[in-house]
Amino acid sequence: MLVLCGAWLLGAVLWLHTPNQQEHKPPLPGPGQTPGPKVQTSANDTAASFRTETCSLIPEAWRFDCYPERGVVVTRELCEARNCCFIPASTAFSSASRPSGKNGIPWCFYPSEFPSYSLVSLNDTLLGQKATLMKEVKTYYPGDILTIEVEMRYETDKRLLNHKFFSIKITDPSSSRFEVPISVPTVTNKTESPDYIIELSKQPFGLVVKRRSTGAVLLNTTVAPLFYADQFLQFSTSLPTQFIYGLGEHRSTFLHDVHWNTLTMWARDVPPTEQTNLYGAHPFYLAMEDGGNAHGFFLLNSNAMDVALQPTPALTWRTIGGILDFYIFLGPDPGSVVQQYVDVVGYPAMPVYWALGYHLCRWGYYTSNSTWEVVKSMRNYGIPQDVQWNDIDYMDKFMDFTYESKKFDTLPELVRDLHAHNQRYVMILDPGISSTQPEGSYWPFDEGVKRGSPGSAVWNPVDSVWPGLTAYPDFSDEVTHEWWYDNLQMFHDKVAFDGLWIDMNEPSNFLDGSTSGCPTNNLENPPYTPGVLGGLLRAKTLCATAQQKQSIHYNMHSLYGLMEAKASARPFVISRSTFPSQGMYSGHWLGDNRSQWKDLYTSIAGMLTFNLLGIPLVGADVCGFSEETQEELCVRWTQLGAFYPFTRNHNAISMKPQDPTAFSPLARTAMKEALLLRYSLFPVLYTLFHHAHVHGHTVARPIMFEFPKDVKAYGIDKQFMWGKSLLVTPVLDPGVVYVDGYFPEGLWYDYYTGDCVTSKGEELQLNAPLDKINLHLREGSIIPTQAPNLTLWVSTGQPLHLVSALSQDGSASGDLFWDDGETIDTYETNQYAYIIFSIAQVLTFIYFVEYSNLPCVLSNHIEASYITVESASFYGVTEKPSRVLVNSQDAPFTYRNNQVRF
Ligand SMILES: *[C@@H]1O[C@H](CO)[C@@H](O)[C@H](O)[C@H]1NC(C)=O
Ligand SMILES: *[C@@H]1O[C@H](CO)[C@@H](O)[C@H](O)[C@H]1NC(C)=O
Ligand SMILES: *[C@@H]1O[C@H](CO)[C@@H](O)[C@H](O)[C@H]1NC(C)=O
Ligand SMILES: *[C@@H]1O[C@H](CO)[C@@H](O)[C@H](O)[C@H]1NC(C)=O
Ligand SMILES: *[C@@H]1O[C@H](CO)[C@@H](O)[C@H](O)[C@H]1NC(C)=O
Ligand SMILES: *[C@@H]1O[C@H](CO)[C@@H](O)[C@H](O)[C@H]1NC(C)=O
Ligand SMILES: CC(=O)N[C@H]1CO[C@H](CO)[C@@H](O)[C@@H]1O
């Protein structure tokens, strides 16, 4: 749902009041710390003229911003007071006129001799090394810390990642600073023969990391000074490549632009806009090196931060709290980098089977009866639908855990009817809890107040003046989890919902801070504020000073969505705000997009980025959320959406209906075909989610993940793959019946006809009438499919049909993960079947098809327990074979158009 919606909306307010220092562990940065003395270096010191000369020797691309503050006209005086170089750049913006985001060559930048830390001692530890760094003088940021410790852990993880990653943690030995409360694996052994070489430079301190096999310099922090002040922590590194991905959540191309591009992270409710911090924060990037190797870098930090990219190429991390705790993943291929990252932050949950069906939603159904009408109409037209949703219009006065008893009088019946048709129901919940209802009339609030106690407050309501006022539950407190669960349980007794949509959890607020304002201190107004939309940390959210159980909101803000998802738990949760490890608890939709062709295109980058971030259950609002959609756009979007791992059509209030039944027969049929195609591919999608859950694989993946040496694939975000076998080439433009698509070297088979194209790594034009989305099968793959039906419940009971695309040597393979679709942790408890299919051409014309077919142990879902292979097609058989053997038995078959079927 959307932000800024007028008067009725959930309001502002929450805990608040200045944090009480006694009540919590020393969160850092905190008020009351003595700011360090400022360096008073005169611009006229002896080095000045020398510096002007050496400054001009620094090439523009190598200038690291010494004055990142926004809204300040950076003069020579201000700059030189920081002991930095001032040279107005010939082109681009000055720091003064810097728009947030693309900010141009800095006019004020660090000279090479800028004071920084030196390495004063280095000792071996059980897991690596520990260094002490010191510097002589404090810089201009208050609370500068002169002595810091660097702990390097050269980690071995026997699970899958031998010698492939290591971590570095930089802390203040004299005080305990805030650390992100997510659990990362504990490692016990030191790597003996790592894939990397680490070199430390002493003066100034710097860290260089090279890939042992190629010598590529993956990290070099000597390029700019290290800062470690209470509320300003910064380091820069050169990058071996311009090919950088990840760094969500932003609306951008999949490949980031390194030309003076600053990406800010701080969870924020705003319709996706370029150059703006959005709903989630993900300080992780993946980089493609020369020759097709890949590495990854993760900064485990939840404070507001900027990530500045520049064309050196280089990257600067600039955060305003916590510690510097980072992980480097050596890959060496991009898929392994994601696996190694996911191994640290947590593996995505295995979704319940119906999560992968078609979801239908809108804001503005107005009544349960009209919601129901759409469901019935979908059934009448034979269009697949697994899940019906409601936005906030189902609520009574927009209050969680209530439903409007007049307009939504039949909601419980609607949900029973959905269940009777093997369909599911999901509704929205916002975190804001109305704080202004008469006492005794709204249990969620009254009970929250009752259970809250100083130090473990669920919330502290502030005012109760305006009907829109709310309090925000503190999900960092276990007490809140119990309260949230009890509310869910009580509501479930009335409306038997199956999953949750947790929205507005940045958390979003229609005021800045609170009705009673926020305190004035260095948390609300830090010495440096990253480029957050609105210019203030509290813009459209809570006061930074708001006290939560685990720390102040200043540190916890971007974790709100993660902690709410954790409290909401399985089987199905979709969250708007996300943080690393979110995939363990929820999926994500890409927010309040517009019904525009451009948004159709950028949704692919969003989907691919979230797959990289370990949250594979992701998709954009099909047909677009805000603004009126058009029929052609909605058809194309439904086709692309059929390949989002999570596919939901969602519409804004007062827009015309945009569910498939609202369109002409031609459009409706095209949408139905796209959805039937998705349903027929369910076994493929479900198996990919199994590999995500168990191995940390991506589900929807960029082409370059499968072809990492093919540089032409590095920038592609108009096409993508499902796993390693299926290539999707959607139409993203209006009025066209052709689409250009890139095909990496090899054989590709048209999924529908079996026709083969041989590509040398080139762009090909494909036929793409309105009722077709191009889909190709990569040589060497076998995929299991099923006859689709109106719900996955029905179609997953159908026997399998294998589709095989032979490689040039006549072989192919594929797999299937199968269980009852609903029981949690079937893999962990060994209640599943895993089947490998393989085809080999033996002699010239005999094909062997082998598969091992294990029965599923569980049988809630009877049909699914007896999955069988009924038929198969092989594409790319150039001569009629004499025999086809299936599990050693002769099978009758037909041969036509280079295809064998049995
Ligand atoms: C110091 O530098 C400023 C400009 O940065 C200049 O105006 C001033 O005259 C200088 N003072 C001395 C004593 O050199
Ligand atoms: C390293 O060892 C030396 C003595 O050998 C000791 O003085 C120093 O404090 C140690 N440094 C660290 C970081 O443990
Ligand atoms: C760590 O080393 C010990 C002793 O060498 C060994 O028994 C253990 O298996 C190792 N653990 C891992 C995770 O490699
Ligand atoms: C690291 O960066 C410094 C400063 O730019 C440079 O002098 C040094 O050669 C670099 N080291 C490596 C290994 O590239
Ligand atoms: C919804 O439909 C039911 C059954 O037809 C009817 O009794 C009820 O009045 C309707 N509700 C509204 C709000 O129109
Ligand atoms: C669903 O299955 C039924 C029974 O097998 C069949 O009659 C119907 O055509 C199928 N529906 C679709 C949409 O394929
Ligand atoms: C369809 C679309 O525009 N999707 C964008 C929606 O917003 C997310 C960010 O939340 C972008 O990543 C998507 O590209």
pLDDT in tens, 591-638: 988 999 999 999 999 999 999 999 999 999 999 999 999 999 999 999
- For a substitution probing ligand 7, which of 577, 593, 598 has the most ligand atoms within 8 Å of its CB? 593
| Under 8 Å between Cβ of 339 and 695 | yes
pLDDT in tens, 230-254: 999 999 999 999 999 999 999 999 9
Tell me how far the alpha carbon of residue 489 is from its chain's centroid. 29
Before 88, cis peptide (omega within 30)?
no
The number of the ligand nearest the C-alpha atom of 236 reads 4
Q: What pLDDT does residue 97 have? A: 44
Pairing of strands 647-649, 621-622: parallel
Ligand 3 site, residue 406, Cβ cutoff 6 A: no
771 assigned to active site: no
Q: What pLDDT does residue 867 have? A: 76
Other CB atoms within 10 Å distance of the CB of residue 511: 18
Produce one character per residue of 51-78: b if its CB has 16 or more CB atoms within 10 Å, e if not: beeebeebebebbbbbbbebeeebeeeb
C-alpha torsion 646→835→164→302, nearest 10: 20
CATH topology of domain 34-113: Spasmolytic Protein; domain 1 (4.10.110)
Q: Is 661 exposed, middle or buried (0-12, 13-18, 19+ CB in 10 A)?
A: buried
Q: What are phi and psi of 501, to 5 degrees?
A: -110, 110
Q: Which DSSP helix (H) or strand (E) runs through 705?
A: helix 703-706
Q: What pLDDT does residue 273 have? A: 80
| Under 8 Å between Cβ of 269 and 506 | yes
Ligand 2 site, residue 124, Cβ cutoff 6 A: no
Residue whose Cα lies nearest atom 12 of ligand 5: it is: 407
Residue 99 has pLDDT above 80, yes or no: no
The number of the ligand nearest the C-alpha atom of 272 reads 7
How far is the C-alpha of 523 from the C-alpha of 532, rounded, in Å?
14
Mean pLDDT on 156-179: 76
Question: What's the CA-to-centroid distance between 130 and ligand 2, angstroms?
Answer: 9
Rounded to the nearest integer, the mean pLDDT of the chain is 88
Residue whose Cα lies nearest atom 14 of ligand 1: it is: 44
The answer to whether 118-345 and 799-901 have equal CATH topology is: yes
Ligand 5 site, residue 369, Cβ cutoff 6 A: yes
Mean pLDDT on 211-217: 95
Question: What's the CA-to-centroid distance between 323 and ligand 2, angstroms?
Answer: 21
- For a substitution probing ligand 1, which of 41, 44, 51 has the most ligand atoms within 8 Å of its CB? 44
Sequence-distant (≥ 6) Cβ neighbours of residue 664 within 8 angstroms: 631
Q: What pLDDT does residue 72 have? A: 87
Could you list the beta-strand ranges (E) of 82-138: 85-86, 108-109, 118-124, 128-134
Question: What's the CA-to-centroid distance between 497 and ligand 4, angstroms?
Answer: 58
The number of the ligand nearest the C-alpha atom of 162 reads 3
Q: What pLDDT does residue 839 have? A: 86
- The CATH class given to the 799-901 domain equals mainly beta
Of 175-184, 599-608, 626-635, 863-872, where does mean pLDDT reach its minimum? 863-872
Ligand 2 site, residue 132, Cβ cutoff 6 A: yes
Sequence-distant (≥ 6) Cβ neighbours of residue 57 within 8 angstroms: none
- The CATH class given to the 118-345 domain equals mainly beta
Confidence of residue 8 (pLDDT cuts 50, 70, 90): very low
Q: Which DSSP helix (H) or strand (E) runs through 667?
A: helix 665-680
740 assigned to active site: no
- List, chain by chain if needed, residues with CB within 6 Å of any ligand 1 atom: 43-44, 76-77
Question: What's the CA-to-centroid distance between 195 and ligand 3, angstroms?
Answer: 19
Residue 87 has pLDDT above 80, yes or no: yes
Q: What are phi and psi of 469, to 5 degrees?
A: -70, 145
| pTM for the whole structure | 0.91
Q: Between 888 and 74, name the one with better pLDDT.
A: 74
How far is the C-alpha of 139 from the C-alpha of 35, rounded, in Å?
11
Q: Between 785 and 858, name the one with better pLDDT.
A: 785
pLDDT in tens, 278-323: 999 999 999 999 999 999 999 999 999 999 999 999 999 999 999 9
Ligand 3 site, residue 159, Cβ cutoff 6 A: no
Query: Tokens 């295809």 identify what position?
Result: 899
The number of the ligand nearest the C-alpha atom of 130 reads 2
Q: What pLDDT does residue 690 have? A: 97
Ligand 3 site, residue 158, Cβ cutoff 6 A: yes
Mean pLDDT on 850-876: 60
- For a substitution probing ligand 2, which of 120, 121, 149 has the most ligand atoms within 8 Å of its CB? 121
Among the listed residues 506, 524, 632, 717, the single catalytic one is: 506
Domain boundaries, the chain: 34-113, 118-345, 799-901
**Tokens, residue 165:** 């990653």
Mean pLDDT on 401-417: 97
pLDDT in tens, 247-281: 999 999 999 999 999 999 999 999 878 889 999 99
Q: What pLDDT does residue 889 have? A: 81
Confidence of residue 91 (pLDDT cuts 50, 70, 90): low
What percentage of the chain reaches a pLDDT higher than 70?
A: 86
Residue 20 has pLDDT above 90, yes or no: no
Mean pLDDT on 6-13: 29
The neighbouring-strand residues paired with 427 are: 390, 500
- For a substitution probing ligand 4, which of 208, 220, 315 has the most ligand atoms within 8 Å of its CB? 220
Q: What pLDDT does residue 572 have? A: 97
How far is the C-alpha of 681 from the C-alpha of 792, rounded, in Å?
11
Among the listed residues 249, 289, 325, 503, the single catalytic one is: 503
Mean pLDDT on 883-891: 82
